[in-house]
């Protein structure tokens, strides 16, 4: 990626933003430009967009121009690229240029904001680590919340955008349900049982393939939900299509990061079980009571270690979707967020708060499941036995709906929890308000 | 657009309006969980008392009357006490504590009538007897469903009794003024005049920052202080070369604002 010297400089490219595609969300484009030009405020960018055409840079390398073009065009910008003659004396472009989505391909000072930035020149900018900055709608209120308030707001968000969240999660559930039914009817295979040796080789490969595709769809939906909740929480509008669309470019990273996390947690679980077995075995040979006590202690310690890591990485999907970080960087960022001491008090530590939210979310989820089991149970009691297949299908459909609802509620609560930590440690609500001061 | 809070507006016959913040599912669930813990402790206490009474009390009775009572009577008494705790916990507490139970009090919730008046024995009885319907099969499935559809987050018991659960207004803890006082005195021309142009909303932003800064990440704290200072200086046309730490500058501004407001 690094380019230097006269050879590279002679291939400098000027990038101009000449228009906006119809139907583009101006906010999305502003946010995209803000990620490329992190020093500029949203107002400055909005002002610049009102005066198109806009020269973004005249000194991008070919690779950078390509990336910026791909990135901005996916957000609805119409760009014009032209070769520009730049003297070799000009400052080199950042050598550590990342992908546009990591917001680090920023060319040197953009023309549109040079004037505005001039006034800030006497005060050097503090090198704040750049994160995807949440775009808070001016009319919306975001503030630090307690556990109860997080759950209250999750419930309200779910009620106000019920169809949006419900359909986002229903899509993978529905596909899975339809496929399960079809495969059961056609081949007599139950996907949930997994691949077995008794299947034919072709069928076995198909089942593995289907499970993998389901995994992709599931994570796609998870990412889309994170995106949709984030947008609505910050006061923006979105749709099922837009949420899934926004995830297209991040799906690979989300999938990869979640698989890494799954593998690490799985390995951790195996190691803990193996060590526990060894310790318990050693203690058991010493005597009955000490073996029992040892078993309890080892199991508790093992569970504590497992949950420690599980809770540390609880925010990974949000980090990937909302901060454009991936792989081990996302795991580290999630750990960093979960370790931040934002409030005094044992129950106000992020990990304990997350545990409580998960527990309450689980109880509410059980309530939702029970509610949706009720019609199935009643139809089983009151309808004749000959309609057993119908009642079973009804029960399964209701189960899919209940799972979508419960999952949506828990996911919304965790996304608001993620924002709550960032609000407390980064004060982005205050930053948004300060920009309008 | 998503709203931060749902409110209930109540107007008295004298045309005085009140606005209550309605409690949602989250705070109510948390309160219920706390109440369940308290109820569990009550029941444990009853169980221990019954066991102790059944074991030791007859031995302290010189008349021998208690020895004649079969032990099953003690357990029957225990079951009765359990029933009273289980059924009467919410009913009695809400009626006697002005619509609060220990869990609700911890979560700062209160049950009131929809017209804003406090609840009595009747309302408490209706909403808590119908709790049995809301909690059908456990975990409040019907209560959840009805609350989901209700604009005031009411469950069946609330609808029948004409009650709502509200969040009590939280009194803000006064800010520690000593933490606001900067060591350096702001020596800028017309600073008081500038501060007088500050709108309450703008003052709130600066004050919120000063209140929340301890919990903030140092880098973001510096950045925000810098941003606020820069904005204010730009707004007031003060040279940005003034050498005063950003946070001290903001502390001075808040101090001057509060002083002048108090004087008015």
Best mutation target among B1, B2, B29, B137 (most A Cβ atoms within 10 Å) is B2
Spatial contact of B169 and B19, defined as CB atoms under 8 Å apart: no
DSSP A287-340: -HHHHHHHHHHHHHHHHHHHHHHHHHTTTHHHHHHHH---HHHHHHHHHHHHH-
- The Cα–Cα gap between B206 and B199 comes to 11
The strand pair at B17-22 and B109-113 is best described as unpaired
Instruction: Give the nearest partner residue to A122 out of B144, B213, B241, using CB atoms.
Output: B241
- pLDDT for A418 equals 94
DSSP B117-163: PBP-HHHHHHHHHTHHHHTTTSS-HHHHHHHHH-TT---HHHHHHTE
Quick one: DSSP state of residue A129?
P
Q: What is the pLDDT of residues A97-138, one digit of tens each?
A: 334 443 333 334 344 434 433 333 334 333 333 345 677 766
- pLDDT for A95 equals 36
Compare A9 and B199 and report the one with higher pLDDT.
B199
Name residues 125-144 of chain B within 8 A of A (Cβ). 137-144
Structure tokens at A206: 């198909």
pLDDT band at B52 (very low <50, low <70, confident <90, very high): confident
Other CB atoms within a 10 A radius of the CB of residue A374 amount to 16
**Residues with Cβ < 8 Å from A378, sequence gap 6 or more?**
none
| Distance from the B130 Cα atom to the nearest Cα atom in chain A, whole angstroms | 17
Question: Among A199-208, A213-222, B98-107, whose mean pLDDT is lowest?
Answer: A199-208
- pLDDT for B177 equals 54
| Distance from the B254 Cα atom to the nearest Cα atom in chain A, whole angstroms | 15
- The Cα–Cα gap between A149 and B22 comes to 11
Q: What is the pLDDT of residues A346-384, one digit of tens each?
A: 888 899 999 999 998 898 888 888 888 888 777 777 777
**Inter-helix orientation angle B200-212/A428-435, to 10°:** 150
Structure tokens at A117: 């930035």
CA A200 → CA A183, A187, A207, A209, A214, distances in Å?
14, 11, 11, 14, 21
Query: How much is the ipTM here?
Result: 0.80
Compare B69 and A339 and report the one with higher pLDDT.
A339
**Residues with Cβ < 8 Å from A54, sequence gap 6 or more?**
A16, A17, A18, A48, A111, A112
- pLDDT for B259 equals 83
Other CB atoms within a 10 A radius of the CB of residue A358 amount to 18
Compare B238 and A310 and report the one with higher pLDDT.
A310
Spatial contact of B154 and B147, defined as CB atoms under 8 Å apart: yes
CA B73 → CA A117, B56, B81, distances in Å?
85, 14, 12
Q: What is the pLDDT of residues B54-102, one digit of tens each?
A: 777 767 776 766 666 777 787 788 888 888 887 889 999 999 999 999 9
Provide mean pLDDT across the span B148-174.
84
Q: With an 8 Å Cβ cutoff, is B237 touching chain A?
A: no
What are the backbone dihedrals phi and psi of residue B151, each rounded to the nearest 5 degrees, phi first?
-75, -20
Q: With an 8 Å Cβ cutoff, is B220 touching chain A?
A: yes
- pLDDT for B132 equals 85
Provide mean pLDDT across the span A62-87.
77
State the burial class of residue B224 (Cβ atoms within 10 Å of its Cβ: 0-12, 13-18, 19+).
buried
Residue B113's DSSP bridge partners are: B163
Of all residues in chain A, the one with the smallest CA distance to B215 is A342
CA A336 → CA A257, A333, A350, A421, distances in Å?
16, 5, 11, 10
In this complex, do A126 and B219 lie within 8 Å of one another by their Cβ atoms?
yes
pLDDT band at A419 (very low <50, low <70, confident <90, very high): very high
- The Cα–Cα gap between B1 and A159 comes to 12
Spatial contact of A100 and A66, defined as CB atoms under 8 Å apart: no
Q: Evaluate if residue B43 carries a pLDDT over 60.
A: yes
Q: Give percent of chain B with pLDDT exceeding 90.
A: 25
Note the Cα A64 to chain centre separation in Å. Answer: 26
Structure tokens at B54: 């059944």
In chain A, what residues touch B212 (CB-CB under 8 Å)?
144, 424, 427, 430
Structure tokens at A392: 């079973």
- pLDDT for B171 equals 55
Q: Which of A85-94, B14-23, B174-183 has the highest mean pLDDT?
A: B14-23
Q: Evaluate if residue A196 carries a pLDDT over 70.
A: no
Q: With an 8 Å Cβ cutoff, is A129 touching chain B?
A: yes
DSSP A334-385: HHHHHH---SSSGGGSHHHHHHHHHHHHHHHHHHHHHHHHHHHHHHHHHS-G
Q: Evaluate if residue A429 carries a pLDDT over 80.
A: yes
- pLDDT for A63 equals 79
Q: Evaluate if residue A5 carries a pLDDT over 50.
A: no
Structure tokens at B53: 């009474």
Spatial contact of A334 and A316, defined as CB atoms under 8 Å apart: yes
| Distance from the B75 Cα atom to the nearest Cα atom in chain A, whole angstroms | 32
Residue A57's DSSP bridge partners are: A15
Helices (H), A187-315: 201-233, 240-247, 251-286, 288-312
What structural domains and CATH numbers belong to chain A? 5-118 (3.30.1390.10), 148-435 (no CATH)
Question: Which residue has tokens 């810098």?
Answer: B226
Spatial contact of A412 and A154, defined as CB atoms under 8 Å apart: yes
Name residues 143-162 of chain A within 8 A of B (Cβ). 143-144, 147-157, 159-161
């Amino acid at each position: 990626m690094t380019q230097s010297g006269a050879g590279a400089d002679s291939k400098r490219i000027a990038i101009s933003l000449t228009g906006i595609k119809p139907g583009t969300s101006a906010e999305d484009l502003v946010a995209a430009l803000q990620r490329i030009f992190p020093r500029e405020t949203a107002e400055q960018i909005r002002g610049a967009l009102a005066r198109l055409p806009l020269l973004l840079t005249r000194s991008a390398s070919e690779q950078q121009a390509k990336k910026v073009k791909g990135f901005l065009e996916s957000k609805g910008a119409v760009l014009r690229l032209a070769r520009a003659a730049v003297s070799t004396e000009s400052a080199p472009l950042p050598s550590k240029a990342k992908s546009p989505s990591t917001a680090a391909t920023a060319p040197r000072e953009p023309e549109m904001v040079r004037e505005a930035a001039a006034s800030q020149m006497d005060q050097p900018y503090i090198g704040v680590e750049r994160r995807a900055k949440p775009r808070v709608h001016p009319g919306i209120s975001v503030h630090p919340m307690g556990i109860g308030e997080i759950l209250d707001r999750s419930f309200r968000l779910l009620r106000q955008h019920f169809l949006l969240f419900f359909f986002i999660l229903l899509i993978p559930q529905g596909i899975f349900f339809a496929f399960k039914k079809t495969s059961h009817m056609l081949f007599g295979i139950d996907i949930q049982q997994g691949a077995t040796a008794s299947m034919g080789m072709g069928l076995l490969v198909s089942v593995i393939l289907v499970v993998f595709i389901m995994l992709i769809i599931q994570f796609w939906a998870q990412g889309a939900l994170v995106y949709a909740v984030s947008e609505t929480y910050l006061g923006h509008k979105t749709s099922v299509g837009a949420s899934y669309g926004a995830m297209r470019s991040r799906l690979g990273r989300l999938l990869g990061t979640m698989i890494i996390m799954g593998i690490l947690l799985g390995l951790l679980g195996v190691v803990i079980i193996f060590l526990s077995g060894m310790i318990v075995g050693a203690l058991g040979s010493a005597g009955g009571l000490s073996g029992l006590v040892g078993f309890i202690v080892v199991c508790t310690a093992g569970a504590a270690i497992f949950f420690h890591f599980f809770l540390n990485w609880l925010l990974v999907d949000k980090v990937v979707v909302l901060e454009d970080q991936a792989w081990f960087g996302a795991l580290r960022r999630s750990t960093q967020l979960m370790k931040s001491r934002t409030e005094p008090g044992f129950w106000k530590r992020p990990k304990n708060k997350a545990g409580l939210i998960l527990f309450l979310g689980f109880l509410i989820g059980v309530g939702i499941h029970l509610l949706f089991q009720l019609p199935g149970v009643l139809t089983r009691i009151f309808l004749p036995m000959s309609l057993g297949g119908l009642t079973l299908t009804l029960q399964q459909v209701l189960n899919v709906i209940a799972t979508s609802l419960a999952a949506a509620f828990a996911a919304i609560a965790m996304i608001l929890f993620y924002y709550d930590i960032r609000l407390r440690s980064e004060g982005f609500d205050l930053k948004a308000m300060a920009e309008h001061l | 657009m998503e709203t931060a809070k749902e409110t209930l507006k109540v107007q008295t016959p004298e045309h005085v309006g009140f606005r209550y913040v309605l409690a949602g599912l989250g705070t109510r669930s948390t309160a219920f969980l706390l109440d369940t813990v308290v109820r569990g402790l009550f029941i444990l206490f009853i169980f221990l008392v019954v066991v102790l009474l059944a074991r030791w009390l007859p031995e302290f009775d010189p008349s021998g009357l208690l020895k004649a009572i079969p032990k099953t009577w003690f357990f029957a008494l225990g079951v009765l006490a359990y029933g009273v705790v289980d059924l009467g916990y919410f009913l009695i507490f809400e009626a006697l504590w002005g619509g609060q139970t220990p869990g609700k009090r911890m979560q700062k919730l209160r049950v009131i009538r929809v017209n804003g008046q406090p609840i009595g024995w009747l309302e408490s009885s209706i909403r808590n007897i119908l709790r049995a319907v809301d909690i059908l099969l456990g975990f409040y499935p019907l209560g959840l469903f009805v609350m989901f559809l209700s604009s005031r987050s009411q469950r069946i018991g609330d609808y029948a009794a004409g009650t709502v659960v509200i969040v009590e207004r939280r009194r803000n803890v006064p800010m520690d003024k000593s933490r606001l006082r900067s060591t350096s005195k702001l020596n800028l021309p017309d600073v008081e005049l500038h501060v007088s142009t500050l709108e309450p909303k703008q003052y709130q932003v600066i004050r919120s920052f000063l209140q929340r800064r301890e919990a903030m990440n140092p880098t973001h704290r510096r950045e925000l202080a810098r941003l606020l200072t820069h904005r204010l200086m730009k707004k007031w046309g003060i040279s940005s070369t003034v050498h005063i730490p950003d946070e001290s500058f903001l502390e001075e501004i808040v101090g001057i604002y509060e002083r002048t407001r108090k004087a008015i």
